[in-house]
């Protein structure tokens, strides 16, 4: 909701400060937005505020029930993945008195397949079912919430396509501002966006777990920045293989280190 509030304020602040300047966006009016427009925006599956969105003519209730039904099934499947595949590995983090390289590597490999299952089910449940369900319920016509990130042949394409909802917000309110700030330096602006995105994800995780670490910042921010700097224009099948290889590793390493952090904070006697 913070991102939505920021978008609403940004799009309406200019109407108050400079009411004579008309927006070039046809979906933004020169008048201050009404409360019903803000209320619709709060539930719409987008983070970029517009006074008018493309709308469908009718609500297909069968699609609504189908999407939310699949969300329910996905939630049950995620519970089983966590309870029967993740928790036994996490239990070792809480009970092992000494960490060794073999135990760390074994735990990471044990988390890879469950991590992929968790990601695929969660991704489909949220980005496809949940967002499409709300889009259909609100007659929201723009249903491009993700693209075929699994076919990405460059790091930039991957980051742009796997979460278009957040990417649009970052592009409109962060990237464009940084372009102006850095006098059109696209490379530096893109690197800053990657770091900002990592910090934003870390902030969300700190709300969930109640503590702030640097796992997301290091793994996604620094690694993502490294890829952008070293291989800015690299494309091809090799990049797709690298992305598909790094994804399961990331889905194992990140939760494992969070489990270690929780263990160190709440079970210090085992360390």
Active site residues: 201
Q: Residue 224 burial by CB count (10 A; 0-12/13-18/19+): exposed, middle or buried? A: buried
Beta bridge partners of 140: 55
What string of H, E and C letters represents the secondary structure of the chain? CHHHHHHHHHHHHHHHHCCCCCCCCCCCCCCCCCHHHHHHHHHCCCCCCCCCCCECCCCCHHHHHHHHHHHHHHHHHHHHHHHHHHHHHHHHHHHCCCCCHHHHHHHHHHHHHHHHHHHHHHHHHHHHHHHHHHHHHCCECCCCCCCCHHHCCCHHHHHHHCCHHHHHHHHHHHHHHHHHHCCCCHHHHHHHHHHHHHHHHHHHHHHHHCCCCCHHHHHHHHHHHHHHHHCCCCCCHHHHHHHHHHHHHHHHHHHHHHHHHHHHHHCHHHC
């Amino acid at each position: 909701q913070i991102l939505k509030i920021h978008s609403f304020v940004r799009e309406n602040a200019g109407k108050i400060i400079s009411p004579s300047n008309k927006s070039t966006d046809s979906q933004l009016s020169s008048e201050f937005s009404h409360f019903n427009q803000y209320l619709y925006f709060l539930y719409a599956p987008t983070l970029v505020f517009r006074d008018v969105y493309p709308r469908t003519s009718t609500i297909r209730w069968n699609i609504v029930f189908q999407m939310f039904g699949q969300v329910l099934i996905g939630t049950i499947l995620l519970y089983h993945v966590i309870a029967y595949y993740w928790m036994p590995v996490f239990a070792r983090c809480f009970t092992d008195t000494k960490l060794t390289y073999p135990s760390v590597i074994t735990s990471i490999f044990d988390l890879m397949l469950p991590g992929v299952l968790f990601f695929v089910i969660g991704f489909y449940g949220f980005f496809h079912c949940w967002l499409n369900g709300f889009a259909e319920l609100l007659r929201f016509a723009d249903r491009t919430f993700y693209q075929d990130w699994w076919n990405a042949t460059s790091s930039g394409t991957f980051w742009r396509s796997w979460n278009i909802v957040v990417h649009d917000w970052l592009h409109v309110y962060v990237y464009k501002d940084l372009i102006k700030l850095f006098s059109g330096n696209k490379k530096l602006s893109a690197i800053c966006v990657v770091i900002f995105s990592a910090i934003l994800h870390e902030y969300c995780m700190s709300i969930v777990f109640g503590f702030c670490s640097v796992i997301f910042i290091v793994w996604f921010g620094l690694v993502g920045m490294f890829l952008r700097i070293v291989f800015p224009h690299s494309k091809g099948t090799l990049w797709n293989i690298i992305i598909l290889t790094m994804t399961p590793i990331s889905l194992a390493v990140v939760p494992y280190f969070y489990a270690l952090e929780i263990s160190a904070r709440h079970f210090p006697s085992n360390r």
